[in-house]
């Protein structure tokens, strides 16, 4: 998703302050009545569970007590909902608003919103109506090529734009969110979440996986008529734990092969193109049975071959696979990235920039949370990195929502779900 310039302002605990220079935004959804925070537990209950009791292959978790972690998560979730959840496109429909994208409503954002609201169900009972409203919106905007996928972009009038074809990551998270909804609420109500998930997963495989490389395509519009883009894959769509969930839900063994292909591609890129850093590029191109970083602008920016606003998500996506599956290749991949960031920053999250060459040259000193927050998941694989993980957690727990930064804020919230122990593998 191409990013646009940021606007000013922050949201603290759901209250907008100091916002200026904005175009008129869709009206926010009134925050629903929220359940009170649970009573403070006895001191003996205030130590965080060991990493292995929640994620079997995590080495560490933040040192903060579990009640403190949960309180920070709930505060950030409520501020996120106030800033980005809208109800603007028809009766019963909710949307996640993305002011920093080309269009205000994008499939990526709706997928994120569905994963978040389903994941928060045990902490915030009010999330189911929001989830169902997001799903209603998704179903109202099918791809014009394959109706079980979502059109990637909608404008302020809620009309499809950009050809009304799909974006792969949006559908992957929509499907994952539907699997979570089936776990949280069952599929006996208004929507059969499980059936909808299965249909979308089948369409994802049929229409957004390259039949030769087994890597994810950019969307259902990508085909042999444009060979260069047909060979191109976005590394932020490389979500091995999603592939595992899809295989489990559909009993389709092809997802195992797809997962293995992506893990091999990560290892090849790190070995051949970023041996000192482990960083992945935003986009790769398949050539001769292997992959290589693209050169120059291929789809979004001149940094398409660098560690930029897509690849910054890979420590989170690969890290979730490492701590839930124990896969050796994903664990090795995120440990390599984690080790380089620890060394290059001296365990100081404030020194993480917002763009790097694969060799480790920082070209943007901005401190966007889309870059530093995902490192917390990678840090959970490093038994020697408690100080580093605690610094990353403290930065997340003490941060506020910028209402112009949907992207970084929404990534950070999902990272917080992971590190607090509230990420579910359906």
The pLDDT-based confidence of 43 (bands split at 50, 70, 90) is very low
Residue 232, token pair as written in the block: 């191109």
pLDDT digits (tens, 9 = 90+) for 389-414: 999 999 999 999 999 999 999 999 99
- Which pLDDT score is estimated for 50? 59
- Per-residue pLDDT for 47 more than 60? no
Residue 378 has pLDDT above 50, yes or no: yes
Q: Determine whether 169 is an active site residue.
A: yes
pLDDT, mean of residues 350-360: 98
Q: Which tens digits make up the pLDDT trace of 256-267?
A: 999 999 999 999
Query: Where residue 35 falls among pLDDT bands split at 50, 70, 90?
Result: very low
Which residues have C-beta within 8 Å of that of residue 333, sequence separation ≥ 6?
Answer: 263, 266, 267, 270, 278, 318, 322
Residue 300, φ and ψ in degrees, nearest 5: -120, -60
**What's the pLDDT at 68?**
98
Q: Which of 43-52, 88-97, 121-130 has the lowest mean pLDDT?
A: 43-52
DSSP state of 221: T
Q: Is the pLDDT of residue 279 over 80?
A: yes
Reported as a pLDDT band with limits 50, 70 and 90, residue 2 is very low
What's the confidence (pLDDT) of residue 18?
32
**Residue 280 is encoded by which pair of tokens?**
């992945």
Token pair of 54 as six digits: 């929640």
pLDDT confidence band for 54 (50 / 70 / 90): confident
Name the band, by pLDDT with cuts 50, 70 and 90, for residue 73. Answer: very high
Quote the CA–CA distance of 46 and 66 in Å, as a whole number.
6
Task: Report, as an integer, the average pLDDT of 119-126.
Answer: 92
In degrees, rounded to 5, the angle at the alpha carbon of residue 106 between the alpha carbons of residues 100 and 111 is: 115
pLDDT at 1 over 60: no
- pLDDT at residue 165 greater than cutoff 90: yes
Residue 281: helix, strand or coil by DSSP? coil
Asked if residue 305 has pLDDT above 50, the reply is yes
Task: Check: CB of residue 167 under 8 Å from CB of residue 237.
Answer: no
> Cα(175)–Cα(191) distance, rounded to whole angstroms?
13
Q: Which fold has domain 64-419?
A: Glycosyltransferase (1.50.10)
The pLDDT value given to residue 162: 86
Point out the least confidently predicted range of 38-42, 240-244, 325-329: 38-42
Res 174 pLDDT > 70: yes
Is 90 in contact with 54 (CB distance < 8 Å)? no
Round to the nearest angstrom and report the end-to-end CA distance of the chain. Answer: 27
For residue 166, pLDDT beyond 90: yes
- pLDDT confidence band for 281 (50 / 70 / 90): very high
Mean pLDDT of 301-325: 98
In the numeric block, the tokens 């990235």 are attached to 337
Active-site residue identified among 108, 124, 220, 237:
108
Give the pLDDT score at 289: 86
What is the mean pLDDT of the segment spanning 362-385?
Answer: 97
Averaged pLDDT, 259-277? 98
Confidence of residue 30 (pLDDT cuts 50, 70, 90): very low
pLDDT for 76 equals: 98
Q: Where are the domains of the chain?
A: 64-419
Estimate the crossing angle of helix 107-119 against helix 168-185, to 10 degrees.
20
Q: What is the mean pLDDT of the chain?
A: 90
What is residue 53's predicted lDDT score, i.e. its pLDDT? Answer: 63
Active-site position among 153, 169, 285, 368 = 169
Q: Is the confidence at residue 12, as pLDDT, over 50? A: no
Q: What dihedral angle (degrees, nearest 10) is formed by the CA atoms of 181, 186, 187, 190?
A: -80
Full-model pTM: 0.90
pLDDT digits (tens, 9 = 90+) for 226-257: 999 999 999 999 999 999 999 999 999 999 99
Residue 33, pLDDT above cutoff 70: no
């Amino acid at each position: 998703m191409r990013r646009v310039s940021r606007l000013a302002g922050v949201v603290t605990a759901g209250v907008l302050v100091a916002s200026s220079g904005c175009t008129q935004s869709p009206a926010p959804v009134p925050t629903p009545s929220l359940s009170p925070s649970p009573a403070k537990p006895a001191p003996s209950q205030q130590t965080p569970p060991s990493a292995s009791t929640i994620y079997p292959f995590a080495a560490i978790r933040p040192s903060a007590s579990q009640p403190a972690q949960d309180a920070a998560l709930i505060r950030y979730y409520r501020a996120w909902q106030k800033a980005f959840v809208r109800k603007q496109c028809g009766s019963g429909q909710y949307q996640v608003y993305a002011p920093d994208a080309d269009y205000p409503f994008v499939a990526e954002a709706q997928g994120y919103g569905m994963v978040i609201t389903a994941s928060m169900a045990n902490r915030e009972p009010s999330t189911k109506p929001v989830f169902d409203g997001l799903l209603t919106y998704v179903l109202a905007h099918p791809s014009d090529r394959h109706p079980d996928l979502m059109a990637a972009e909608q404008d302020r009038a809620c009309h499809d734009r950009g050809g009304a074809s799909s974006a792969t990551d949006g559908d992957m998270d929509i499907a994952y969110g539907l699997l979570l909804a089936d776990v949280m609420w069952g599929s006996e109500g208004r929507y059969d979440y499980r059936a909808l998930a299965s249909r979308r997963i089948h369409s994802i495989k049929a229409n957004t996986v390259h039949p030769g490389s087994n890597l994810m395509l950019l969307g259902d519009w990508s085909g042999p008529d444009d060979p260069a883009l047909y060979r191109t894959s976005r590394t932020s769509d490389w979500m091995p734990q999603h592939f595992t969930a899809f295989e489990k839900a559909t009993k389709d063994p092809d997802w195992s092969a797809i997962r293995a292909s992506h893990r091999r591609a990560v290892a090849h890129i790190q070995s051949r193109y970023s041996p000192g850093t482990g960083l992945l590029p935003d986009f790769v191109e398949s050539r001769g049975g292997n992959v290589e970083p693209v050169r120059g602008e291929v789809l979004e920016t001149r940094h398409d071959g660098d560690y930029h606003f897509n690849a910054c998500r890979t420590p989170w996506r690969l890290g979730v696979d490492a701590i839930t599956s124990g896969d050796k290749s994903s664990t090795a991949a995120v440990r390599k990235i984690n080790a380089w960031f620890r060394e290059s920053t001296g365990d100081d999250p404030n020194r993480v920039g917002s763009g790097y060459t694969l060799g480790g040259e920082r070209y943007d000193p901005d401190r966007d949370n889309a870059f530093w927050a995902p490192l917390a998941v990678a840090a959970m694989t490093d038994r020697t990195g408690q100080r580093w993980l605690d610094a990353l957690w403290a930065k997340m727990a003490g941060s506020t929502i910028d209402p112009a930064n949907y992207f970084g804020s929404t990534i950070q919230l999902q990272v917080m779900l992971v590190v607090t122990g509230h990420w579910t593998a359906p």
